[in-house]
Structure formats: C-alpha cells, structure tokens
Amino acid sequence: MSTQHAFFSSPATTISTGFRDSAFVGNRDLPVHRWVPWIAGFSAHFVDDCLSKYLPANGKTDRWVLDPFTGVGTTLIQAYTRGFNVVGFEINPYAALAAKTKLQADHLDPSALRAHVFGFEKFMRRQCVPTNGQPRSKPPSGFSGRTQLFSPAVERKVLFALDYINAVEAPAIRDLFRLALGSVMVSFSNYSYEPSLTRRSAVDREPVLDADVGAVLSLKLKLIGSDVEWLRQELAKLEHRPRGKVYSESFFSALERLEENSVDLVVTSPPYLNNYHYPRNTRPQLHWLGFASGRGYPGAREDSSFGKFWQTVRDKDPVRLTFSLPSLQQSIDEIRGRNTEKGPYGGPGWANYVATYFNDTHRFCTVLSKLLKPHAAAVIVLGNSIIQGVEVRTDCLFGTIAELCGLTFEDTILLRKKRTGTSIIQSSVRVDKAAHKTVLYESAIVLRGRPERT
C-alpha cells in the first residue's frame, strides 16, 4: 500500500519564467519536504528561486524569512537549511505540527529515533495478534462522516500504535511518530484525497478491510529517520545555526509576536479563493492526533481562517467591503446578482464569500506592510477563480489592495495554467457557464515593503 496520499492531481502547463515549477508535487522526492503532503503547498525549488532572487547571500546571518501561511513548512525549511532565520504562522494544528517538527528535527538524535522505531516494530508485532487483548487508547469521539474512518481491524492496530506513541517520553520523538501517523493514516482508511477528503466508496474504490499499520508507519519513520540525518549534515555545513519558530495561530495576530519592520523576505501562498476547506480535509488527523474533540473541527479555528469559508458566511446579511475598490465591488455586485433564486447557494451566498475573502486580504496586507522592512520583497502565490461564472483575478486584486495598504505592487509572474484542484472550482463554484472560456492559472505577485515609515 502506498504511504503517499493522492493529494495532488491534474497536470498543469508550466510556463518558463525563470522560476521552477511552483507545485508541491515536486517535493515528493525531496528530503524532509516529503514527510507530509499538503494541498496547494508549493515546491522547494520555487522557494529556492525566490531566495536567490530576492535575498542574495551577503551578510545573511541576521536575515528573517516569514511565511504567514506556513502549511507544512516548505518555505521555512528551505530557507532554514540555507541559513536564514525563519518564522511562520499556521492556523491548522496538524500542519503546524508538521512545520514545527521539521524545524526541530536537526536537534534529534538519529540513534534514539532508530531505537524507538525498532521498539515500535517489536511492540506492534507482539500486540497486533488477534488474541492479544485490547488497546488502552480509545478512538476519538468527534470524527463524523458517513463511513467509519477505519475498519475495525485497522482501528485496533491504529489504537495499539497510539498506545506506543503516547508512551514515548521524548516530546520531539513523540511528535515525529504522531506526524508520521498523520501522514499515512488516510492511506489505510476508508477515505481518500481526491483532492478533498472523500469516502472511498464514493469514488468506486474498494474499502480497506485490513492493513499492516505497523509496517506502513515504520517504513515512513525510517524514511523520516534518514532525512533527519540528511538535515543534520546540511545544518552542520553552515557557519551558524539559524533560528526557527512556528506559531500555531492566526497570522492576524502577528504584530503581537513580531517586531514591526523586521522581515527581509516573505514567500507564501494564502488559501485560494476556491473554498478548499483545510479543517474539514484534515479531520482524520485533527481528531486522531488529539487536536479536536467533539463534533466538527474546533481545534482548527475555522472562524479565524484567512478568507473564511462559504459555509460560514453564505447565510449572513450582505457582507460589505471594509475598504474602497470600485472594480472589486462591481464584480461582487455581479456575483450577487447571479442565481438569486438559490439564495445563499447562489450569487448572494458566494458574493459574501468573495467580500469576506478580500476583507481578509486587506487585513493581511495591513499587517504585512508593518512587518516588511523597507523595499523587502513578499512573493505571494495565488490562483484566479470563477465564481458563479464571474472570473475573479485574485492576483491583480491582491496587488491593488496591497497598494491601498502602502505596499508597492511590483510584478506578476505567471507560473502555471490550469492549476491543480480545478475540480473544487468546477463542482462547487462554477455554476454558470462563462460567456467565454476562462483559463485557470496560478501566478506569483511580488510586493515591496513601504519605502519609508511614517
């Protein structure tokens, strides 16, 4: 059984821009980046290209690279291994665990990790025979879905694995085990990533009645172990040890954590305007790793997510823009007027989502403009969207809003046409036929910090 999620799909046309492919799929074979797949994560090579272009190496010991939407830490780990200090914010506790664990991994003792993996294999071989009693760990109460996440046979083994993990005393090793379990658990579950979390039965896949949970997990841990050794060697080549910090909280509170005028480069990708629901799609990990209990995904702080979700704003009174941008207001009005008979499921609901998304963009740019050093670059990867048949050019709008907040909108770099994840747009957003065929694309906008502070 594969230990990789089918988290990434449709091929896209990449465009020659001097930047290498931005899609996460390129990370699958790279040490450390390959620990956890993440939707809309981007590639380590793309980050490298940004570092080379916008943060040349001279005098880099005191340089800070920020990723406000850290995901599983692609920007941070790439900048860290090149000697930059890094700081990130990530609201999803499972993704934050991934990023934190990666940044701590060079402090791990590889032989202690190997001993634990060996101990784990022995424990699982001993415990997982059918006659050997019941695990002490209990399944979480909150995972809700039409299908149980695991078959009874698989669940029993996962619970034994948790028995072992919970007894590991060293927090860094325990976190690595938890992360490895989070990374592989969907592969032996009755769900799959399509790229949204979907019941296997809904996409004509056979149920997983049984699986060698111990073997899948230990294989992943061995791969992680060899990457830990690689990471230690990379860090040993540096003349100094960079600093790294991940806040498992919303970027909107960043000014409570970071000093103004302190960031040398941002490379990031916020949630796109495609309503991809990170908390919902990480329900298995949130519940089984203990980040959420009860129904839903309370630990994932859905309400503080950038852009919110259509589900959380569609029924509200019409959401107004908190700033003035007539071209955007016009698009929102156009969306609001589409399919009005469907109420929150038609234009009015989607217009609320778009307005909320750009209100958060304005909040984001306000914070960013305070954190960036004068002229420092922020590279922000975005995708356009088609909402109720209306194309929303998120990149242009984001750049224009940034300018309203005092940043300079320097450039737009077209990265990919027909990006991954178009199915989300087609199934839930594109209701009307667009008058002309609109190409979905991904681009990076380049912003610059305010030239001087007022």
What residue ranges bind ligand SAM (CB under 6 A)?
A: 24, 38, 40-42, 69, 71-72, 74, 89-92, 95, 250-252, 269-271, 278, 304-306
Nearest to ligand SAM of 64, 297 (CB atom): 297
Tokens, residue 26: 């390129």
CA 383 to chain centre: 15
Q: How far apart are CA 302 and CA 299, in angstroms?
A: 8
Nearest to ligand SAM of 155, 227 (CB atom): 227
User: Could you tell me the CA-to-CA distances from 71 to 37, 158, 206 in Å, in that order?
Assistant: 10, 25, 31
Q: How far apart are CA 303 and CA 340, in angstroms?
A: 26
Q: How far is the CB of 74 from ligand SAM (least distance, A)?
A: 3
Q: How far is the CB of 451 from ligand SAM (least distance, A)?
A: 27
Interstrand relation of 372-383 and 263-268 (parallel, antiparallel or unpaired): parallel
Q: How far is the CB of 309 from ligand SAM (least distance, A)?
A: 10
Q: How far is the CB of 39 from ligand SAM (least distance, A)?
A: 7
Q: How far is the CB of 91 from ligand SAM (least distance, A)?
A: 4
Q: How far apart are CA 386 and CA 392, in angstroms?
A: 6
Q: How far apart are CA 281 and CA 287, in angstroms?
A: 11
Question: Residue 99's closest CA among 265, 218, 233, 249?
Answer: 249
Residue whose CB is nearest to ligand SAM in the complex, by number: 71
Nearest to ligand SAM of 211, 429 (CB atom): 429
Q: How far is the CB of 79 from ligand SAM (least distance, A)?
A: 12
Q: How far is the CB of 302 from ligand SAM (least distance, A)?
A: 9
Nearest to ligand SAM of 10, 61 (CB atom): 10
> Beta strands of 37-163 (E only): which ranges?
64-67, 85-89
Nearest to ligand SAM of 191, 364 (CB atom): 364
Nearest to ligand SAM of 37, 348 (CB atom): 37
Nearest to ligand SAM of 47, 108 (CB atom): 47
Contact 276, 39 (CB under 8 A): yes
Contact 407, 369 (CB under 8 A): yes
Q: Which residues are 64's β-sheet partners?
A: 85
Contact 225, 34 (CB under 8 A): no
Contact 28, 44 (CB under 8 A): no
